[in-house]
Structure 1
Amino acid sequence: MAADIVILDTLIKPGTSHTLNFNMARLYTSTVVDIPVIIHRAKKAGPVVLLTGGVHGDEFNGVEVVRQLISKKVVRPKKGMVIAIPVVNVFGFLNMQREFPDGRDLNRVFPGAKNGSLASRFAYQVTKGILPHVDLVMDFHTGGAQRFNAPQLRVDPLEIDSMELAKIFHPPFLVLSKNIPKTFRETCSKMGKNYLLFEGGKSQQSDKNVILTAVNGVIRVLDHMGMLQDKSLVHPDEKPIHVIKKSKWVRAKYSGLLHPRVANGKRVEKGEMIASITDPYGTMRHKVKSPQDGFVINVNHSPLVYQGDAIFHISKDERQEELKERV
């Protein structure tokens, strides 16, 4: 007999679906702000997967990824349970801003505190009320500000099970990186939960290719876990995964107008011209060259930059390891 699962004070029985309202606070007008939590539990026992978008309220790609997975009925599992929260930070989403109303970055206050700030209280409720039931978290983000991330997964290489699932997800780039303190990712790791952090696109913009990459990746993972109902949704990816072990930010040496010359995901060579920075008056033109061979995994799309601004993120590995596994 399947064990009882209680989420947000609601008993989730096998073979049932629920849309729960995660109510944390009200607006100044006393209007209630609900955060919908969509849950589908199969009759057959199995893994529990949590899908989250919009942890940062201005990152719309992740919201659309989870929305499409709901629309395609991918979240209705053959076994186990899927919990989907398309917009985690509804407060920021309403205002098209990254932070909670208290000015805090939700992804820097985990595991939260019962009597802390609004963001901290929310993190605490997620940590205590939802995560204990979860086996795998897939969390969807974009680059901040005007910085556009090439589609990628970020995983701690010491987390073997997450690494294996990352290979099944099959992103164009797999960035090996340690967990950052007080993030959702670190809290999941400490609780023994597998975690895949997807990054793709930039804030306040929707990108179809990035979204499709993430949706297909989730479908492959759920299929691998025996949870997918409709096998026709699976699209194998024969392209190799580029593993990024080290990377470096290229920063602007001058303030001015930025003119990128290379696209995200492109491999560049040391000394190759990747952008130019000019003044508005036609008197200055500075060539930006790549400091090493590698792949461009982030490009700053801002037309104006100040000296010291991050403008490109380039892998440092001389020879990129490629995963030959096929889905």
Structure 2
Amino acid sequence: MTRKPSTDLIILGKKVALGETKTINFSFAKLYTSTKVEIPVIISRSEKPGPTVLLTAGIHGDEINGVEVVRQVIAKKINRPTRGTIICIPILNIFGFLNAERTFPDGRDLNRVFPGTKTGSLASRVAYHFTKEILPLADYCLDFHTGGAQRFNAAQIRVAPDNPKLLKLAEIFNAPFTVLSSNLSKSYRFTCAKMDIPSLLFEGGKSLDSNKHIVKHGVDGVVRILAHLTMLNPLITPTEITQKTVIIEKSRWIRAQRSGLLHVKIACNKYVEKDEFLATITDPYGEMRFIVKAPNSGYIINVNHTPIIHQGDAIFHISTTDNTDSEDEEN
């Protein structure tokens, strides 16, 4: 679908003509030192009209893998379309990125304040201006995240259930897993859904960590989506698909039954059988050793890498066939 005119694109008050590549700074706030904070927006347009694809990362400032995915898309000139427009924003939460923190300086999570308000908190104002000035230009959105804190996510696409169009796009992206997950109120993809803009949320790896395998899954997925939209430079070849994405319809969190030191014994992405040995929890004094077993057969799509845990902490995310404890801890 292409809803935008094929002539000059007006973004953040600047004009970008067909065939032009331009970097425009999204700037409306300052640090308390009066230093301007600018968010670079890289726009690349083909001479031929077509759809507009928006790539975003760094909604959480400590999620490096997503930033690297979008950086590689730009560096490898994957963002130079044969038709249409590609808009790249490698770091949307520049405030959090400067401090290596998930949230804004006001402590708010940008992915919980969309579509934002003009006179609200700093995070809410960023969400508002982004939603008003950039998001309406997009025909498709790809948003890149990692697991929160030390929770390592298998590379996965998250889409709302009962949406065949999004599921088809997720299958084209072909991350190792596609997780059916309801949109959270005030999240970026919730706002995309309300604006009828198809969006895919990519999750992979953990915060403050760069993982080349996770990044490759993200970049390969972008290439496949652009090829599907006939926007990909013919000199770039999509990676051959050797295994189709695994659809995860239901899942549950395995929580720690003891507090102590966590010793993980299995890898993320692995398919485990019921009662398979997953980890041990020990105390520092050599007196307690608790074995964590799989409550059901399924894929492990998240592993907690925190070495010290408390009782009740989420330590594994596993696919299942029932609705038991299927709470969402989405980014």
- The answer to whether TM tops 0.5 is yes
Q: RMSD of aligned C-alpha atoms?
A: 1.1
Q: Which amino acid aligns with 2:87?
A: I
**Distance (Å, rounded) in 1 between the aligned partners of 2:284 and 2:135:** 51
Shift in Å, 1:42: 0.9
**Distance (Å, rounded) in 2 between the aligned partners of 1:240 and 1:19:** 36
Shift in Å, 1:236: 1.9
Shift in Å, 1:4: 3.5
**Distance (Å, rounded) in 2 between the aligned partners of 1:94 and 1:132:** 27
User: After superposition, where does 1:196-235 map in structure 2 within 5 Å?
Assistant: 196-235=200-239
Q: Which residue of 58, 65, 76 corresponds with 2:80?
A: 76
Shift in Å, 1:164: 1.1
**Distance (Å, rounded) in 2 between the aligned partners of 1:172 and 1:43:** 34
User: After superposition, where does 1:6-45 map in structure 2 within 5 Å?
Assistant: 6-45=10-49
Q: Which residue of 275, 279, 293 corresponds with 2:297?
A: 293
1:141 aligns with 2:152: no
Q: Partner residue of 1:46?
A: 50
Structure 1 residue runs of 5 or longer lacking an equivalent are: 319-327
Q: Partner residue of 1:283?
A: 287
Q: TM-score, normalised by structure 2?
A: 0.94
Q: Which residue of 158, 161, 167 corresponds with 2:165?
A: 161
**Distance (Å, rounded) in 2 between the aligned partners of 1:237 and 1:243:** 16
Q: Partner residue of 1:324?
A: none
> What SS does structure 2 have at the residue aligned with 1:67?
helix
Q: Partner residue of 1:89?
A: 93
Contact 1:244-1:317 within 8 A present in 2 as well: no
Q: Partner residue of 2:328?
A: none
Q: Which residue of 264, 267, 292 corresponds with 2:268?
A: 264
Contact 1:293-1:317 within 8 A present in 2 as well: no
User: After superposition, where does 1:236-251 map in structure 2 within 5 Å?
Assistant: 236-251=240-255
Q: TM-score, normalised by structure 1?
A: 0.95
Shift in Å, 1:43: 1.1
Report Cα offsets for 1:31-61 as digits up to 9, x if no partner. Answer: 1111000000111110100001100000000
Which aligned segments of 4 or more residues in structure 1 are displaced greater than 4 angstroms?
none
Identity across matched positions, percent:
56
**Distance (Å, rounded) in 1 between the aligned partners of 2:91 and 2:45:** 20
> What SS does structure 2 have at the residue aligned with 1:234?
coil
Q: Partner residue of 2:327?
A: none
Contact 1:261-1:273 within 8 A present in 2 as well: yes
Report Cα offsets for 1:252-306 as digits up to 9, x if no partner. Answer: 0110000011100000111111000000110000000111100000000000000
Aligned residue pairs total 318
Shift in Å, 1:230: 3.3
Structure 2 residue runs of 5 or longer lacking an equivalent are: 323-331
Q: Partner residue of 2:186?
A: 182
Contact 2:174-2:245 within 8 A present in 1 as well: yes
